[in-house]
Amino acid sequence: MSAALPTYEDVLDASRVLDGIAHRTPVLASTTLNDRLGAQVFFKCENLQRIGAFKFRGGYNAIARLGPEQRRAGVVAFSSGNHAQAVALAARMLGVAATIVMPNDAPRAKRAATEGYGARIIDYDRNTEDREAIALDLAQKEGLTLIPPFDHPHIIAGQGTAVKELLEDVGGLDALFVPLGGGGLLSGSLLAARAIAPDCAVYGVEPEAGDDGLQSLRKGEIVRIGPPQSIADGAVTQYLGKITFPIIRDQVRDILTVSDAQLVAAMQFFAERMKIVVEPTGCLGAAAAMNQCVPMKGMRVGVLLSGGNVDLARYGQHLQAG
Ligand SMILES: *Cc1c(COP(=O)(O)O)cnc(C)c1O
C-alpha cells in the first residue's frame, strides 16, 4: 500500500479552509419519526449546502489547496451532477478557470447551473465516448488539474467536515447512516466519526441495484459492477476508489442497501412532514434508518441528507407515486 490515506488531521485542515465559506448546515429532527422508531434521529441537512449538496465541501477544499501555477492553469472535472456544480462554484470563488466534461444529454437545469457558475462545458456522447479519457486529454493538453469526484485525499477530507459538524452540534451518536456512491462522503465521515465518536457505528447505504460497495466489503477487494439502474443517480458508481475503499473496509460497521421504493417513501416523508426537498440519492441514509435496517430502539442516530437537487418534473412524479 503506497498511497498515503487521509486522516482526521486532514479533516481538521479542511474544516479551517471551509470555515465561513461552506454553510454550517442545520440539523433537523422529526418528533413523528422519533416516536415511530423509538429512537432520536438527527438529520444533517447537506441538501441546504451551497450548490445543494455536500460536494461543495470537497471540491472547494481540493481547489483551495492547489499551488499558484495549478490555479493559474485551471481545473477540469467530469460529472453531470453535483460534483460539476461544486467544482464550478468553488473554482469561481477562488478565481480559477473550470472546465466540466458533461454528457450532451445532461438535464438542462444542471447544465445551466454549471454554466451559471462560469464554467466552460465540454460535451461528450455517453454512448460512444469516454469522459475520463476526454478529461485526461484536456488536462494534458492545457495543463489543467483534474479534480476527481471522490478518490482524492482533499476531497475525502472536505466531505468529512459535515459529520464533524454534526457530532459537534448534537454530541454523541450510537449510529450514523451515510449515502454511499464512490465513497468520498463515507470515508470522510468515517475519519471524523472515528476521531470524535469512536463508539458510533457508521453504516454506508447504497441503492439495492448498485451494491458494489457491499460486494467489495464482503470480498475484501474492490468489486466492479455494470452500470446500475436506480433513481439514486448520485450513487450509481460502479466501483469504490483506491483510497476510499481501504478506509471503508477497515472502519465501516456495515454496508446496507435500500430499494427505489424506499427512497421514494423517504422523499415523500421529507416533503410532507419536514418541508424539505431531498433528492433520491440524498435519501439513502434516511431510508435505511426509517426502515430500521439495523436495530435502533432507544438509540441516538445521525443521518446524513447528502443533497437536494431534483428535476422538478421528476420530483413531482415521485411525490405522487404510491
Ligand atoms: C455524490 C453524491 C453522493 C455519493 O457520494 P460519494 O462520495 O461518491 O460516495 C451521495 N449523495 C449525493 C447527493 C451526491 O451528490
Q: Cell numbers at residue 181, please? A: 456512491
Distance 198 CA to ligand 1 centre (A): 23
Q: How many angstroms separate the CA atoms of 110 and 55, rounded?
A: 14
Task: Name, in order, each residue with C-beta under 8 angstroms of 185's C-beta and a sequence gap of 6 or more.
Answer: 54, 150, 159, 162, 178, 179, 304, 306
Short-list 75, 107, 89, 95, CA closest to 234: 107
Q: Is 280 in the pocket of ligand 1 (CB under 6 A)?
A: no
276-293 pLDDT, tens digit per residue, is 999 999 999 999 999 999
Q: Is 306 a known active-site residue?
A: yes
82-101 pLDDT, tens digit per residue, is 999 999 999 999 999 999 99
- Cβ–Cβ < 8 Å for 41, 29: yes
Q: Is 59 in the pocket of ligand 1 (CB under 6 A)?
A: no
Q: Is 132 a known active-site residue?
A: no
- Cβ–Cβ < 8 Å for 217, 255: yes
Q: What pLDDT is stored for residue 127 in this prediction? A: 84
Return the SS3 of 152.
Answer: coil
**pTM, entire model:** 0.96
Q: Is 105 a known active-site residue?
A: no
Q: Is 158 in the pocket of ligand 1 (CB under 6 A)?
A: no
Atom of ligand 1 nearest to the CA of 181: 9
Q: In the chain, what are the domains?
A: 8-53+152-321 (3.40.50.1100), 56-146 (3.40.50.1100)
Q: What pLDDT is stored for residue 230 in this prediction? A: 92
246-278 pLDDT, tens digit per residue, is 999 999 999 999 999 999 999 999 999 999 999
Q: How many angstroms separate the CA atoms of 315 and 56, rounded?
A: 22
User: Given pLDDT bands bounded at 50, 70 and 90, which one contains residue 1?
Assistant: very low
More confident: 234 or 218: 218
Q: Cell numbers at residue 235, please? A: 450513487
Q: What pLDDT is stored for residue 95 in this prediction? A: 98
Q: How many angstroms separate the CA atoms of 190 and 193, rounded?
A: 5
